[in-house]
């Protein structure tokens, strides 16, 4: 009798395993209709040595050679990124003392500019007078190739969205205070009507939350949201369930995490597309606690259909992207 029950249980388990395999089979699903999405991190930027990188590292002081003379987070770098095939450009913003947003990455001005102090403690007028190329050096301070060439190049949020009204952007809100989100909601209420492009917001939940509450048409992705999405999907995605945290989002997934997702790649991309989300790969998640861009041009050509990338080196990835069938918007 016991043997009979064991056999029955084994058959049921085998049936369940086959069913789960079929539900999550990528090759059976095949490529869907989702178009792969290419995101240029800060537009075209000067690259830097990432060895020993921390959140306090002055990256402008460890510049490495690139194939262009553009500076990150500028209108010129964004225009070049779109020209090279980017579907969206990520840029960083800080609130200013006069109720505006400056497009600049660093928390302080000392590394990259000829100014000093905390970025958000300045007026937009002051920030736009600075030379944002002042601190770049590739030889330990012997030469500064962009010094004197970056004056007046720090744009405002309005200037970016006005310059590219039909383009998609990922806006990284630096800081995590609710007041910043409330200010962004007010600014976008003026800027958003009539825009043809999609805006995604990233940053701290306390700053992103108030914006999405007022503007539900915007997409969002925060680190806690992404962790909830991936954790719950790994736990329950075998059933085809898509957690709420995965919906209407820009899912930035480290390349070494992606294979652990149920149905990767085609079934997963189909599910996320049906849930209103785009899937883009980052570089591998490492022990330093963060991922870099997906910058391997040769690997881009091998990516499955529908899988996008987030890159720091668009000048390398862009041509490979076009070669795999990606097209300029």
Residue 120, helix vs strand vs coil: helix
The pair of three-digit structure tokens given for residue 22, joined into one six-digit string:
């079929």
Most confidently modeled of 56-70, 119-133, 179-193?
119-133
201 or 52: which carries more pLDDT confidence?
A: 201
Q: How far apart (Å, rounded) are the C-alpha atoms in residues 71 and 76?
A: 8
pLDDT digits (tens, 9 = 90+) for 88-100: 999 999 999 999 9
Per-residue pLDDT for 286 more than 80? no
Q: How far apart (Å, rounded) are the C-alpha atoms in residues 104 and 94?
A: 7
Report the pLDDT value the prediction gives residue 297, as an integer from 0 to 100.
Answer: 87
Q: Which residue has 């500028």 as its token pair?
A: 74
Per-residue pLDDT for 328 more than 60? no
**Which H or E run includes 102?**
strand 101-103
Q: For strands 278-282 and 250-254, give the pairing.
A: parallel
Q: How far apart (Å, rounded) are the C-alpha atoms in residues 106 and 231?
A: 30
Report the pLDDT value the prediction gives residue 327, as an integer from 0 to 100.
Answer: 46
Report the pLDDT value the prediction gives residue 83, as an integer from 0 to 100.
Answer: 95
Report the pLDDT value the prediction gives residue 25, as an integer from 0 to 100.
Answer: 78
**Which H or E run includes 276?**
none
Give me the mean pLDDT over the 138-165 stretch: 95
Q: For strands 199-203 and 88-95, give the pairing.
A: unpaired
CB 102 within 8 A of CB 93: yes
The pLDDT confidence band at residue 329, using thresholds 50, 70 and 90, is very low
CB 314 within 8 A of CB 84: yes
Report the pLDDT value the prediction gives residue 299, as an integer from 0 to 100.
Answer: 87
Per-residue pLDDT for 32 more than 70? yes
Mean pLDDT of the chain: 88
Q: For strands 101-103 and 88-95, give the pairing.
A: antiparallel
DSSP string over 137-199: -SSTTS--TTTTS-BT---BHHHHHHH-TTSEEEEEE-S--HHHHHHHHHHHHHH-TT--S-E
* From 188-192, 299-303, 312-316, 325-329, the region with the lowest mean pLDDT: 325-329
User: Residues 6 or more apart from 277 whose CB is under 8 A from it?
Assistant: 246, 247, 248, 249, 250, 251
34 or 109: which carries more pLDDT confidence?
A: 109
Q: Which of 84, 68, 92, 197 is nearest to 145 (CA)?
A: 68
Report the pLDDT value the prediction gives residue 176, as an integer from 0 to 100.
Answer: 84
Q: How far apart (Å, rounded) are the C-alpha atoms in residues 291 and 77?
A: 22
Per-residue pLDDT for 102 more than 60? yes
Per-residue pLDDT for 315 more than 80? yes
Report the pLDDT value the prediction gives residue 201, as an integer from 0 to 100.
Answer: 94
Q: Buried (b) or exposed (e) across 25-53, using 16+ Cβ within 10 A?
A: ebeebeebebebbbbbbbbbbbbbeeeee
Q: Buried (b) or exposed (e) across 81-102, using 16+ Cβ within 10 A?
A: bbebbbbbbbbbbbbbeeebbb
pLDDT digits (tens, 9 = 90+) for 226-259: 999 999 999 999 999 999 999 989 999 998 999 9
Per-residue pLDDT for 3 more than 80? no
């Amino acid at each position: 009798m016991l043997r009979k029950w064991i056999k029955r249980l084994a058959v049921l388990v085998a049936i369940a395993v086959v069913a789960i395999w079929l539900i999550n089979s990528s090759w059976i699903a095949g490529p869907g209709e989702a178009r792969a999405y290419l995101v240029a991190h800060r537009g075209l930027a000067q690259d830097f040595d990432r060895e020993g990188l921390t959140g306090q590292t002055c990256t402008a002081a460890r510049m490495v050679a690139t194939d262009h003379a553009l500076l990150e987070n500028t209108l010129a770098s964004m225009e070049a990124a779109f020209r090279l095939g980017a579907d969206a450009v990520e840029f960083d913003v800080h609130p200013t003392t006069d109720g505006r947003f400056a497009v600049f990455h660093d928390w302080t001005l000392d590394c990259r500019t000829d100014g000093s102090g905390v970025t958000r403690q300045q007026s937009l007028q002051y920030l736009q007078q600075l030379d944002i190329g002042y601190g770049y050096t590739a030889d330990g301070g012997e030469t500064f190739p962009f010094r004197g060439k970056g004056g007046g190049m720090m744009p405002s949020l309005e200037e970016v969205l006005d310059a590219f009204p039909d383009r998609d952007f990922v806006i990284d809100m630096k800081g995590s205070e609710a007041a910043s989100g409330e200010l962004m909601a007010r600014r976008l209420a003026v800027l958003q009507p009539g825009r043809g492009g999609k805006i995604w917001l990233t940053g701290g939940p306390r700053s992103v939350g108030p914006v999405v509450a007022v503007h539900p048409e915007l997409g969002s992705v925060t680190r806690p949201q992404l962790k909830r999405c991936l954790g719950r999907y790994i736990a329950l995605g075998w059933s085809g369930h898509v957690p709420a945290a995965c919906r209407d989002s820009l899912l930035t997934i480290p390349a070494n995490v992606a294979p652990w997702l149920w149905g990767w790649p085609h079934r997963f991309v189909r599910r996320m597309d049906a849930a209103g989300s785009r899937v883009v790969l980052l570089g591998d998640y490492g022990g330093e606690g963060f991922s870099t861009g997906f910058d391997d041009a040769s690997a881009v050509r091998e990516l499955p259909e529908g899988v996008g990338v987030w890159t720091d080196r668009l000048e390398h990835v862009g041509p490979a992207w076009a070669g795999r069938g990606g097209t300029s918007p």
